[in-house]
Chain A
Amino acid sequence: KAGVTQTPRYLIKTRGQQVTLSCSPISGHRSVSWYQQTPGQGLQFLFEYFSETQRNKGNFPGRFSGRQFSNSRSEMNVSTLELGDSALYLCASSFSIRQTSSYNEQFFGPGTRLTVL
């Protein structure tokens, strides 16, 4: 079974631009979560989507948004990029039987490294 894939793997943008990152979950997984990883703040939860609906949200400004498609693929968008948005963005998928369920193991993709100049 193929793992979680993220595209692109590397991205360079300038301040003020916007960016869209893509995540394809493991086949059959309906939940996709996004995390931001920086040296200063560590791993921080951005949001989670399940069946095309945002189920959980972390403490990030509205410039960070996401969506999920009917095939469970997910995109994350960051508008008006700032230097501090430079980070590794990780996507994780899990198999959830119902919308609110007990823990299901999360499988992580390799990440997209975003550099903002």
Chain B
Amino acid sequence: AQSVTQLGSHVSVSEGALVLLRCNYSSSVPPYLFWYVQYPNQGLQLLLKYTSAATLVKGINGFEAEFKKSETSFHLTKPSAHMSDAAEYFCAVSVSGSSASKIIFGSGTRLSIRP
């Protein structure tokens, strides 16, 4: 079965500092991996996705993530945090080759930005 684990339910960084949100996945077959962002009272927006092409994936708003098979990780990073990055972030997994409309989400990490 596929699953994702997000380390840290809440991360706080200073404006301008590096953002690092951790995600580890479990999958018996090559996975599709995603990061979504959710702002208050809104739905989910796709930040980036890994679909077995390049291991370093660049997304919107300056975010990127690196797929590391040896570590079963897909951590999300941004070099310099902005106040507008404050939101909840979800790592998610789906499995290639199946009817992949069922996405399994991690428990989420709330990102706070200190002025």
B56 within 8 A of A: no
**Residue contact A111 to B43, C-beta cutoff 8 Å:** yes
Instruction: Please tell me the number of chain A residues within 8 Å of chain B, measured between CB atoms.
Output: 30
Cβ-neighbour of B107 out of A42, A101, A105 (below 8 A): A42
Contact call B43/A102, Cβ cutoff below 8 A? no
Cβ-defined partner of A103 (8 Å) among B32, B41, B45, B104: B32
Indicate whether A20 reaches chain B with its CB closer than 8 angstroms.
Answer: no
Q: Which residues of B contact A104 (CB under 8 A)?
A: 100-101
Interface residues of B (CB under 8 A from A): 32, 36, 41-46, 49, 51, 90, 94, 96-108
Residues of A within 8 A of B (CB): 4, 31, 33, 35, 42-43, 45, 48, 50, 55-56, 58, 90, 92, 94, 96, 99-111, 113
- B46 to chain A minimum Cβ distance, whole angstroms, is 6
Chain B positions within 8 Å of A43 at CB level = 90, 105, 108
- The DSSP consensus for interface residues of chain B is loop
Kindly list chain A residues whose C-beta atoms are within 8 Å of the C-beta of B36. Answer: 108
Q: A102-B97, A105-B49 are in contact. Are A45 and B42 (CB under 8 A)?
A: no
Task: Check A42 against B105 for contact (C-beta < 8 Å).
Answer: yes
Q: A90-B44, A111-B43 are in contact. Are A106 and B107 (CB under 8 A)?
A: no
Kindly state the separation between the CA atoms of A86 and B104 in the bound complex, as whole angstroms.
Answer: 21
Docked Cα-Cα span, A67 to B78, in Å, equals 40
Cα-based distance from A43 to B88 in the complex (angstroms): 12
Taking CB as reference atom, which chain B residue is nearest A39?
B108
- Closest residue of chain B to A58 (Cβ to Cβ) is B102
